[in-house]
Amino acid sequence: MTLSVLICDDSALARKQVKKSFPENWNVDVRLASNGLEAINMMREKIADVLFLDLTMPELDGISVLELLKLKKLANYVIVISADIQPEMQKRVTELGALAFIQKPVNSEKLSQILEEYGLL
Amino acid sequence: MHSLVVESLNTGVILVDADYNLVYFNHFMQSHPALKSPDILGKNLFSVFPELPKSWMTRKLQSVVMLDSPAFSSWEQRQYLFKMQHTRPITTSNEFMAQNISMLPIKSDKTKNEVDHICITVEDATDVCFYQEKLKLTLAELERSNRTDGLTQIANRRYWEERFNTAFLSAVRYNEELSLILFDLDKFKIINDKFGHQAGDKVLIESAALIQSMLRQHDVFGRYGGEEFAILLPNTGLRGAYELAERIRVAFENQIVEYKSFNIAATLSLGVVSYHSGIRNYDDMLTRADMALYESKRSGRNKTTVYQAS
Amino acid sequence: MIEITITEEQRDCLQELINVAMGRASDKLARYLETFVHLQVPHIELVSSSELPQAFAETYGDDSVTLLSQGFYGQDGITGETLLIYRADHTKNIANILGYEPDEVSEMEQLTDISSILTTTFLNGLAEQIDNQIAYSAPRVISSSETSIEKHLQDLSFNWELALKVAISYQVTDYEFNCDMVLLIPGVAIENIQQVLDQILEEY
């Protein structure tokens, strides 16, 4: 079965960077969202198995998205990809149920490693 | 070749390791007496230079290493860090070299992305510092002379009016008391004609000094015109202003100004007004003081008149 | 008048670079200052030199603020100035944040020290991403409560017409401290940064 993933970031460049860092032969269906609100709506329709989530966004930021997802039990696999890498932030994100935290710009090796760890490859 | 350049720089260069031990200093720094003794390399920066503000500078140096970014110290905030002689002992008066200091991160090992040394540069800013201080003094002096009457050394009309305007607005806004005394030397023209202008000037100077000595710090005393003066009394009601005016009038009456072999006596006519709700603006208040002063003159001089709202 | 426009792609790309730079800077700051630094999405726009004083006046109005400047110069003609603006009621905590002893440093020195730290950590974060190296001039106090920013800027005649302006606000919640940083890249340097952005965009 083809996995479907959602990349949520307000920056078009960042979305491209995430997509480009996917493992070459990863067979996935990619959807994009440019803010937290869009992402929540899409997750509600259960269109994605894995969510790649930015934190610093207008409208609804990543932390609020995580809080909502946790509340509604909507996502199993959330990987946070953020520029904000303060230890305090990493802690908050993990507490809210994110699987992993990747520093921007995304390192593709690190990403593969995480995907493998959770059996997503 | 590079090291030759660093040696001949007109700027001090010091290199310390991550424990702040001295690794290198250039020729410019040798003028510091602490660097004259042998075997100084390897010693701790703060033991070599006890004049350095240790806890502040340690925190700065920490930031250079931890943040991999430069830190600065300007003579404007701290005149110097290193106690050194400067190169203009004749034409400037600073005791020590004024310094602009940069602390720069150095990564000596290219393979490791770690700051392991700090380069401290010491730039002589004595010239800039000296002339900046001079400029400050000149500007302050200019500012002072801009608002002082040349003859009597009290506020000139422009400055007095500026202060009055501010005081008036604040009295209106915060409903504070504010009073004004306007006064004029009686028959000043006769003094000038009889004893000469120099005598007249001396009367003005001594009168101004006498009255100034009777005022509080916040009162603003200004020369309004030739022999006309004004006193601004913040936080003072009508009664206080009238009492002061009377004290001035009496003191003045008893004052004798000596000029050559002459003993010159003079009197004052005064007008007093206090701010109240009927006064709409600044000019209003001045006009009322003028009217009171005129009343003093008209009714025989050497007199204080209080403006009464009719 | 030089015609400079930035495309949506360029703006997006710059914004992402800045986000990452801010992230790196705040991580370093958080470790150095031992506190959490809150980040907001930066605001990017082109401003003309004639509008700048007015823009500052509108943002800061009658507030008593202190303005500091620090110049920077990188390779490939990427140069500019960062302005840091502090509101008077936020300056009292700085000594605490910096870990200085009380009364050890004057208020102006605290402001120059924190300004330098904020500016250099942020710009270093930007430089790393575009393989640049940036050098800095020492920070200077430009205006304080005695002279308004607007007045100070109006007294200057600029030798540039247009500048790329990036506004970032810093919040240090533990200390109730915040300040604004305005990065200004004027004139020809805008084109230089555009070239860098285009190169990055080509890669993706």
Residue B227 bears catalytic tag: yes
**Chain A interface, best mutation among C8, C22, C27, by max A CB count within 10 A:** C27
Tens of pLDDT, residue by residue over C20-71, are 999 888 888 888 888 888 877 788 999 988 888 888 888 887 677 888 999 9
Contacts of B77 in chain C (CB under 8 A): 105-106, 108-109, 112
Contact C32 B76 (CB under 8 A): no
Contact C28 B66 (CB under 8 A): yes
In chain B, the residue whose alpha carbon lies closest to the alpha carbon of C107 is B77
Instruction: Yes or no: say if C76 and C198 are a contact pair by the CB < 8 Å rule.
Output: no
Of A12, A20, A83, the CB nearest to C19: A83
- Residue A78: pLDDT band by 50, 70, 90 thresholds? very high
- Residue C185's nearest CA partner among C115, C134, C143 is C134
Average confidence (pLDDT) over A59-69:
90
Contact C12 A11 (CB under 8 A): yes
**Average pLDDT in chain B:** 91
Residues 6+ positions from C68 with CB-CB distance below 8 Å: C83, C84, C86, C111, C112, C115, C139, C140, C141, C142
> Count of domains in chain C?
1
Distance CA A74, CA C59 (A): 41
Average confidence (pLDDT) over A30-46:
91
Residues 121-180 of C with CB under 8 A from B: 121, 124, 136, 138-141
Residues 6+ positions from B227 with CB-CB distance below 8 Å: B184, B185, B188, B204
Contacts of A13 in chain C (CB under 8 A): 9, 12-13, 16, 200-201, 204
CB atoms within 10 A of CB B235: 14
Contact C121 B67 (CB under 8 A): yes
Q: Take residue B168 and report the two structure tokens written for it.
A: 């008036």
- Residue C120: pLDDT band by 50, 70, 90 thresholds? very high
For residue B117, is pLDDT > 70?
A: yes
Residue C154 has a pLDDT of 73
Please indicate if any CB of chain B lies within 8 Å of the CB of C105.
yes
What is the nearest CA distance from C26 to chain A, expressed in angstroms?
7
Do the two chains C and A touch, given a threshold of 8 Å on CB pairs and at least 3 pairs?
Answer: yes
For residue A1, is pLDDT > 80?
A: no
| Catalytic residue (choose from B95, B123, B176, B227) | B227
Instruction: Yes or no: say if B289 and B307 are a contact pair by the CB < 8 Å rule.
Output: yes
Domains, in order of start, for chain A:
3-117 (3.40.50.2300)
**Chain B interface, best mutation among C111, C116, C126, C128, by max B CB count within 10 A:** C116
Specify whether domain B147-306 bears CATH 3.40.50.1000: no
- Residue B192's nearest CA partner among B226, B161, B224, B217 is B226
Helix (H) or strand (E) holding B154, with range, is none
Question: What superfamily in CATH does domain B2-136 come from?
Answer: PAS domain (3.30.450.20)
Residue C145 has a pLDDT of 67
Classify residue C127: in a domain, yes or no: yes
What is the nearest CA distance from C109 to chain B, expressed in angstroms?
6
Q: Take residue C63 and report the two structure tokens written for it.
A: 């507030």
Distance CA C146, CA C159 (A): 26
Better pLDDT: A2 or A17? A17
Residue A34 has a pLDDT of 92
Average confidence (pLDDT) over B217-224:
93
Residue C190 has a pLDDT of 92
Query: Which stretches of chain C sit within 8 Å of chain A by CB?
Result: 9, 12-13, 15-16, 19-24, 26-27, 30-31, 36-37, 39-41, 129, 200-201, 204
> 3-state DSSP call for residue B54?
helix
Residue C185 has a pLDDT of 93
In chain C, the residue whose alpha carbon lies closest to the alpha carbon of B63 is C32
For residue C2, is pLDDT > 70?
A: no
Residue C62 has a pLDDT of 67
Residue C199 has a pLDDT of 92
Helix (H) or strand (E) holding B24, with range, is strand B22-25
Sign of the C-alpha dihedral computed for residues A43, A47, A50 and A52 taken in this order: negative
Burial of B144 (0-12, 13-18, 19+ CB in 10 A): exposed
Classify residue C3: in a domain, yes or no: no
Q: What percent of chain B has pLDDT over 90?
A: 70
State which of B90-104, B287-301, C166-180 shows the largest mean pLDDT: B287-301
Query: Which stretches of chain B sit within 8 Å of chain C by CB?
Result: 53, 55-56, 59-60, 62-63, 66-72, 74, 76-78, 100, 102
- Residue B163: pLDDT band by 50, 70, 90 thresholds? very high
Helix (H) or strand (E) holding A48, with range, is none
Please indicate if any CB of chain B lies within 8 Å of the CB of C106.
yes
Residue A9 has a pLDDT of 95
Tens of pLDDT, residue by residue over B1-58, are 788 999 999 999 999 999 999 999 999 999 898 998 888 999 999 999 999 999 999 9
Classify residue C147: in a domain, yes or no: yes
Strands A100-103 and A77-82: parallel
For residue B212, is pLDDT > 70?
A: yes
Residue C26 has a pLDDT of 86
For residue A75, is pLDDT > 80?
A: no
For residue B310, is pLDDT > 70?
A: no
Classify residue C133: in a domain, yes or no: yes
Distance of alpha carbon C143 from its chain centroid, rounded?
Answer: 16
Contacts of C23 in chain A (CB under 8 A): 56, 82-85, 103-104
Contact B67 C136 (CB under 8 A): no
Strands C43-48 and C37-38: unpaired
Distance CA B256, CA B259 (A): 9
Average confidence (pLDDT) over B179-193:
93
Taking the domains of chain B in order of start, what are their residue ranges? 2-136, 147-306
Residues 6+ positions from B198 with CB-CB distance below 8 Å: B259
- Residue B269's nearest CA partner among B241, B238, B299 is B299
Residue C38 has a pLDDT of 81
Query: Please, how many CA atoms are within 13 Å of residue C24, restricted to the half-sphere of its CB?
Result: 22
- Residue B89: pLDDT band by 50, 70, 90 thresholds? confident
What CATH number did the domain enclosing C166 receive?
Answer: 3.40.1550.10
Q: What percent of chain B has pLDDT over 70?
A: 99
> 3-state DSSP call for residue C29?
helix
**Residue C176 lies in domain:** 8-203
Do B147-306 and B2-136 fall under one CATH topology?
no
Partners of chain B (3+ Cβ pairs below 8 A): C
> 3-state DSSP call for residue B306?
strand
Distance CA B104, CA B270 (A): 69
In chain C, the residue whose alpha carbon lies closest to the alpha carbon of A105 is C20
